Amino acid sequence: MAAPSHRRSLRKRRTLAVSAAVVAAGVGAGVFVMNANADAVDLYHQTLAAKDGWAASGTGTTGGAKADSAHTFTVSTRAQLVKALGSASDTAPRIVRIKGTIDADTDDSGKKLTCADYAAGTGYSLSAYLKAYDPATYGRSKLPSGTQEKARAAAQAKQAKNIVFKVPANTTVVGVPGSNAGISGGMFQIQNVDNVIVRNLTFAATEDCFPQWDPTDGDDGNWNSNYDSVTLRGATHVWADHNTFTDAPHLDSANPEYYGREYQIHDGALDITKSSDLVTVSRNQFTNHDKTMLIGSSDSEPAGKLRVSLHHNIWKGIVQRAPLARVGQVHIYNNYYDVTTLNGYATQYSINSRAKAQVVAEDNYWKVPSGGKTAKLLSGDGTGSVAGGGNLVNGTVTDLVAAYNAASSKKIRTTVNWTPTLTAGLQTSAKNLPAELANTTGAGVLTAS
């Protein structure tokens, strides 16, 4: 059975796989995909197809397709990217083509910046911070406060000013095919804007130089970092497609421990929070990461938003939150989950439905290694729902909710208050997903005509 087209356009098309490319950090190979029609597809002006997930709802998602020549940019440095994105309040349609890998940890002249550069002038030092808030003397009942915490926050603010890229409404940001396009060490912030497309980019090494110690987080405290590779906050109509997300080259296994806890420098990969709505996440690869995707940042987020579709993605070497869903109506279909431990990233669970989330998970494929437990593929707080069927575990149809509920006191519910209708490309059999998605997902697959 031929794989369906994954090039999203309103025009009909066929796809032709023509060459292979290696994707970083153990994800596997991808292929370039060309249009086999006489009519060429312009990758940079491409829009989300009708009925392709929640982002197709209403006005749909067109990004910067209507950009004029004055708002069409090709960039290859951090300074050029900042200029091309312009003001977050400017709603003029724009297309930003990223050529090559942009290092966010550089200044306007292109000079490499380090954590020491961000800390300079703030008074922060890790050794002083560790001494000031050692639980043996500072205690465990309150968050750090005082001189070193203020210095840490100031250093973190300096880093944020440099590495956070604010994406305005009506924008398409797309990697130039064949250029290893991506962002190293940076974060795309899509906040309180509508109609954004992000495609064909590798997001790697998004790292917080200045994690905060929280002794009240859990039984033993935790180090918490800022900066998701892509963060949606109050955003609507967003399409994230054919991207690769990875911690590489600095994996969590290289993190030291302080106060007996991992000094975590990574936050989310792609988080969808603060009542974001109408989002489609398709044909991406998520790999080598812990807390990968939040849908809803709080159990108290208001109902009626956080409508998200996740389809034809690969999740490999992911510890948790693939996704963690709260409140909203979330459709998870035709994804491939390989929960084999990779580079020290050992899966705790794949999908967490909590805070009355209404999840439909259907026709996904899980590869579970020998000794792995199907009961641990889901998680929840006793209020969330997971409906749907056709999910395969090692090729066998499996009732994931029944397996989870048999082993947990916090039962996942099996009925939801909605029926997915925006399901373009839905395959009713998951059996071919491992092979098909290896060749059709992630950055480096798409070509421009």
- For residue 166 the two structure tokens come to 């604010």
DSSP string, 389-448: ---EETTEE--HHHHHHHH-SSPPB---S-----BTT--S--TTHHHHHHTT-STT-B--
Degrees (nearest 5) of the Cα angle 161, 263, 154?
30
CB 197 within 8 A of CB 236: no
Q: Of 387, 388, 336, nearest to 366 (Cα)?
A: 336
Contacts of 410 (CB under 8 A, 6+ apart): 380, 381, 382
Helices (H), 74-216: 78-85, 115-119, 126-132, 135-138, 147-163
Q: What is the DSSP letter of 40?
A: P
Kindly state the helix (H) or strand (E) to which residue 165 belongs, with its residue range: strand 164-166
Using DSSP's 3-state secondary structure scheme, residue 150 falls into helix
Using DSSP's 3-state secondary structure scheme, residue 85 falls into helix
Pair type for strands 285-291 and 314-320: parallel
CB 216 within 8 A of CB 142: yes
Largest distance between two CA atoms of the chain: 72
CB 365 within 8 A of CB 345: no
Please identify which of the residues 152, 321, 326, 354 carries the catalytic annotation.
321
306-329 CB burial, b ≥16 within 10 A, e <16? bbbbbbbbbbbbbbbbbbbbbbbb
Helices (H), 99-244: 115-119, 126-132, 135-138, 147-163
**321 catalytic residue (yes or no):** yes
Kindly list the catalytic residues: 321
